[in-house]
Every structure is written in C-alpha cells, then in structure tokens.
C-alpha cells in the first residue's frame, strides 16, 4: 500500500454517514436498494453478468450521479471470495463449548502485543498526547484499539477490499439471522468505497483489508473512513494505512463522536447483594447503559466507587466457560468502546491491552478490569458502598 496511499482519500473529497460498527448502529449506513437476497450464484456468474448486481449499479449511478459504465467496470473486476461468506456465517448452535473470557483475553493480550504496543507508544508518544488533549481520549484506549485490531499494523488484512465488499453485498450468507439487514449494510459500504475511489482516481483493486472490508491500522470501514477519519499528521491527506498519526487521531475522533466522556472511568467493580439481586432485569439491556447507580443498588449490584456516578450504567456479564460468569459495571465509556465492535469481551480486552501496555512502559502492575463472580452466600451487609 506504500505506492497507493500518497494519493488516496484526500481530505474533503468524500462524505459519509455510517458507523464502523457491526451492530445496530449500522442501520444508519447509506442503504442500497433492497435487492433479492443473495443466492449462491457467484461461482457460476461473475458480478458483471448478475442481474442483481447490475440493478444495484444502475441505482447507485443515479443516487451518486456517477458514470454507470465506470461502476459496471468495477463490478466486472470484483471476484467472489468463497471464504468470506463462511467467515460471516454464525457457528452452529449445537456446539457445547461455552464462551470463556479467559480464553478470549489470551487471544489479544500476550507478550507479542504488549511489546509491540510499548514500541508503538514510544514511537508515537507526542501524537498520542496531542490526540488525548484534543479529543479527551486517553492514549491507552487508542493503543488498545490499534493493538487488538491489527497488532499495530502487522495484520491489516490482505484481501482486496473490492472483492470482500462485493461478495458481502451480493452473496451475504442467508444462514445469518439478520442476512437481509447485513446485506444492505455491505451494499452501503461497497457504494461508499466506490465513491471514494472514483473521487480520487485510485484503482478499486488496490486497497487491501479484512474479509469484511475494513482497512488500515484501525480497521475502518469505508463509511467510517469517510465520516470520522482525520488528517492528524497535517500533510493534506488521510492515510490510515501508513500514517500512525492519522490512525491515532481517527480512532480518538471516532471515540469522541460516539460518546466518550473525558475523565470518566470505563468500569467499576461490582459488589453483589444477593438478597435483592435481579439479574434478568439488569442484563436485559445487554451492554447498553440503562440504570442509574441508585437503580443498580435497588436491583442488587453496587458499583464500587461509583455510587455518585453521573450517567447511566450497565451490568456487564463475561462468561467463563463451564465456570460461573463474572461481572463488572460498565459506564458510557465502556459502551463507546463497543461502538467499534458490539461485544463486552472485545471492549474489556481493548481496555486491558491498553492498561497492560501503559503499565509495561512504566514498569508497574497494570490496572486491568476485575470482573467479579456472584458469591454463593448472600450476606446483604457485604454489599455496601466502599
């Protein structure tokens, strides 16, 4: 990508209005027409010969006021990637293996990532400090995101973005429980990608990324790149592949845009009053902050150190395989991390990796998350404010 990006994604040339997220916020993505759900026809018919792809091309040309022949030529170059629908298909529910926070954490927090994170922070300390001052997002959170996403640029994906997005736009796996919604989302991402490439004159076959079409150190989807990426190194262009500064500023800007509250904790330890504990009510909103501190106490959970917290809270559940699950109390900032990936495991791993890297630089013990299990006994007096 070294050759491509000096001219790619110039400031002011593209616009967008979608999120980076794989969850409900994707509903705000620019939606392409509701084509017939994808069938497994790609192996026998190139996209240039597919009626659904050509209908989409005509409607995109009308929406974006682009040359239809150019759009059709790009689809003619797009290749179906059979591995992409498989990766998007949910695992069969027959599996008896329970999710395990410990296993998940070990996938993303290890000496390789921590050491790489220390080097990344050392090399970009001034930029991280400038981003923190400008956006209010701590350096360790930006470091955590980029480390979990790409190991600081080591693994940004090697699939052609055009192929990944075309495959998901026209051949999204119908086994997925939200197949129609997700297909529309990826049609919007393909549309934004083509608009970006058209505006800067870059061949659509050059950018490489993940199987979902995410790009760069921070793995931004095209709509996220268009709306929240910033030229943080001030060289007149946005380059999330080769400019660590642009990646740092863009992740921080993304967090700010999605509700990051400067100075607010990400989580509080959970203390339990099992005489009152109402887990179904507390877990019903999932990871969306929905309760005041006083309401949580009434429902049997005391946010340790957060009784005076200003803002909504959520009880976060982390399963531990066959063992009892553990919990922590998430704030708006925890929820903001999940705007990147709708997963409490992901958000906790990002937080922990950032803390591990920060502690390694300072040669001290890390202040990682401390999920707590519900005690077997229920002495109400133990669930008091610290």
Q: What is the DSSP string of 344-367?
A: HHHHHHHHHHHHHHHHHHHTS---
- Is the pLDDT higher at 151 or at 383? 151
What is the band of 376 on the pLDDT scale with cuts at 50, 70, 90? Answer: confident
pLDDT of residue 370: 94
Structure tokens given for 188: 């919007």
The strand ranges marked E within the chain are: 159-160, 208-209, 267-268, 270-272, 301-303, 314-320, 323-330, 372-373
* Per-residue pLDDT at 285: 96
> What percent of the chain shows pLDDT beyond 90?
81
Please report the pLDDT score of residue 200 as a whole number.
84
pLDDT at 95: 55
pLDDT, average across residues 247-270: 98
Residue pLDDT, tens place only, 14-23: 333 334 443 3
- CATH class of the domain at 108-153+261-375: mainly alpha
Taking only Cα atoms into account, the Rg of the chain, rounded to an integer number of angstroms, comes to: 22
Which whole number is the average pLDDT over 324-332? 97
- Hey, what are 281's tokens? 């009510």
Q: What is the pLDDT of residue 93?
A: 63
Q: Look at residue 69 and tell me whether its pLDDT is greater than 90.
A: yes
Residues 6+ apart with CB under 8 A from 294: none
Residues 285/314, Cβ–Cβ less than 8 Å: yes
3-state DSSP assignment of residue 213: coil
Structure letter (DSSP) for residue 92: P
Over residues 150-204, the pLDDT tens digits come to 999 999 999 999 999 999 999 999 999 999 999 999 999 999 999 999 998 889 9
pTM recorded for the entire structure? 0.86
Residue 38: pLDDT above 60?
no
pLDDT for the residue numbered 94: 55
The domain spans of the chain are: 47-93+157-214, 108-153+261-375
Q: Of 326, 331, 290, 291, nearest to 141 (Cα)? A: 331
pLDDT at 1 over 50: no
Structure confidence at residue 96 as a pLDDT band (50, 70, 90): low
- Check whether 40 has a pLDDT greater than 80: no
Confidence check: pLDDT of 249 > 80: yes
Half-sphere exposure of residue 377, counting CA atoms within 13 Å on the CB side? 4
**In the predicted structure, residue 238 carries a pLDDT above the cut 70:** yes
Average pLDDT of every residue of the chain: 88
Phi, psi of 347 (to 5 degrees): -60, -40
Quick one: 277 exposed, middle or buried, by C-beta within 10 A (0-12, 13-18, 19+)?
Answer: middle
Number of Cβ within 10 Å of residue 95's Cβ equals: 7
Question: CA 63 to CA 59: how far, in whole Å?
Answer: 6
pLDDT score of 142 more than 60: yes
298 counts as catalytic: no
Round to whole Å and give the CA distance between 269 and 369: 8
pLDDT band at residue 43, thresholds of 50, 70 and 90?
A: low
Domains 47-93+157-214 and 108-153+261-375 share a fold: no
- Indicate the pLDDT class of residue 379, thresholds 50, 70 and 90: very low
Q: Which two tokens stand for residue 374?
A: 């519900």
Total Cβ atoms within 10 A of residue 286: 14
Mean pLDDT lowest among 24-33, 75-84, 269-278, 301-310? 24-33
Q: Could you give the CA distance from residue 156 to residue 255 in angstroms, rounded to a whole number?
A: 20
- Return phi, psi of residue 319, to 5°: -75, 150
Q: Which position among 132, 140, 149, 356 bears the catalytic label? A: 149
Those residues whose C-beta lies under 8 Å from the C-beta of residue 83, and which sit 6 or more positions away, are 211
The CATH code that applies to domain 47-93+157-214 is: 1.10.8.350
């Amino acid at each position: 990508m070294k050759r491509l990006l000096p001219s790619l994604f110039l400031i002011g040339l593209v616009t967008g209005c979608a999120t980076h997220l794989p969850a409900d916020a994707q509903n705000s993505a620019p939606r392409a027409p509701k084509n017939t759900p994808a069938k497994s026809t790609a192996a026998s018919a190139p996209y240039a010969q597919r009626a659904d792809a050509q209908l989409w091309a005509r409607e995109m040309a009308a929406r974006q006021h682009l040359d239809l022949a150019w759009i059709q030529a790009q689809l003619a170059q797009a290749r179906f990637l059979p591995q992409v629908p498989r990766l998007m298909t949910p695992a069969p529910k027959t599996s008896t293996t329970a999710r395990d926070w410990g296993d998940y954490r070990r996938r993303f927090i290890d000496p390789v990532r921590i050491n790489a994170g220390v080097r990344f922070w050392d090399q970009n300390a001034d930029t991280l400090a400038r981003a923190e001052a400008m956006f209010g997002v701590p350096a360790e959170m930006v470091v955590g995101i980029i480390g979990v996403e790409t190991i600081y640029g080591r693994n940004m994906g090697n699939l052609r973005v055009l192929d990944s997005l075309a495959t998901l736009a026209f051949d999204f796996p119908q086994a997925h429980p939200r197949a129609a919604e997700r297909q529309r989302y990826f049609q919007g991402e393909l549309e934004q990608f083509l608009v970006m490439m058209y505006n800067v004159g870059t061949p659509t076959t050059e950018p490489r990324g993940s199987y979902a079409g995410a790009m760069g150190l921070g793995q931004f989807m095209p709509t996220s790149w268009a709306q929240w990426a910033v030229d943080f190194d001030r060289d007149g262009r946005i380059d999330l592949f080769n400019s660590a500064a642009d990646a740092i500023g863009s992740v921080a800007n993304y967090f700010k845009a999605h509700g990051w509250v400067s100075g607010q904790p990400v989580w509080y330890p959970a203390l339990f009053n099992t005489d009152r504990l109402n887990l179904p009510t507390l877990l019903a909103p999932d990871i969306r902050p929905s309760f005041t501190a006083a309401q949580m106490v009434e429902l049997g959970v005391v946010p340790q150190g957060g009784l005076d917290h200003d803002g909504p809270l959520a009880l976060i559940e982390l399963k531990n395989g066959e063992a009892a699950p553990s919990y922590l109390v998430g704030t708006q900032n925890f929820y903001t991390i999940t705007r990147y990936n709708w997963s409490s495991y992901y958000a906790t791993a990002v937080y922990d990796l950032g803390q591990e890297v920060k502690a390694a630089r300072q040669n001290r013990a890390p202040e990682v998350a401390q999920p707590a299990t519900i005690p077997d006994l229920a002495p109400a007096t133990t669930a008091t404010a610290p």
